[in-house]
Amino acid sequence: MREKLLCPSMMCADFGCLQKEVEVLDRAGADIFHIDIMDGRFVPNFGMGLQDVACIRTLTEKPLDAHLMIDAPGNYVGLFSGLGADIITIHPEADLHPARTLDKIRNLGKKAGIAINPGTAVETVKELLPLADYFLAMTVNPGFAGQKYLEFTNRKLETLAKLKAEYGFRLMVDGAISPQKIQELFRLGVDGFVLGTSALFGKGEDYQTILSRLKQL
């Protein structure tokens, strides 16, 4: 059975008790902790900070994925590697030399991720696919939680699901991922799901119950 990766988007967590959130999510079966980093330029928002990465690193052994929604990410992969990120995901749209940056991530002993915005064609990053361990397809315009799923991205997901076999990356989606979308997209071939307000946080149910149910979908 193909593994389904559940990745809590920690920018949606309760920052009044971040330690407890991480520990409970870890025990509840979270697979990867998704940490959104934003610079106010590549996306018109600010996400989590360096201290958050360092703090979460001390609270769990599970992989941390630093989703760099920032300009010139190549300048900062060493920083996030040092903070303990296991996967470093960059937007080639924001990097003059994405192949060099992805190589740099791997040379640091980390997993390399490519993320593309809803309006970016897979064709534009085809040459990078051999350099990626993860491919994060944005299903909302990046930067904000609580948005609507962009249905036009489905065609891109079908293309990526086919390319997966050839290149061996794990296919992930990020943005307005509801339980219904998990069921639909897992069948399509998506491996990992960034979970925010649409499926996990603020649901009035404990994380164990929710994650166990999502795993079964």
Q: Tell me whether residue 174 is one of the annotated catalytic residues.
A: yes
Closest residue to Zn ion using C-beta atoms: 67
Token code pair at residue 58: 């001390």
What x-and-dash track marks residues 63-102 binding Zn ion by CB under 5 A?
----x-----------------------------------
Alpha carbon of residue 46 to chain centroid: 16
Number of residues that bind ligand DX5 (CB under 6 A): 18
Q: Residues 197, 146: contact at Cβ < 8 Å?
A: yes
Catalytic residue among 31, 95, 174, 191: 174
Other Cβ atoms less than 10 A from the Cβ of 106: the count is 15
Among ligand DX5, Zn ion, none, residue 176 binds (CB under 5-8 Å by kind): ligand DX5
Report the partner that residue 89 touches, choosing among Zn ion, ligand DX5, none (CB closer than 5 to 8 A by kind): none
Q: Does 21 bind ligand DX5 (CB under 6 A)?
A: no
Sheet holding 5-8, edge to edge: 5-8, 192-195, 170-174, 134-138, 111-116, 87-90, 64-69, 33-38
- Which residues make up the interface to ligand DX5 (CB under 6 A)? 9, 11-12, 36, 140, 142-143, 145-147, 174-177, 194, 196-198
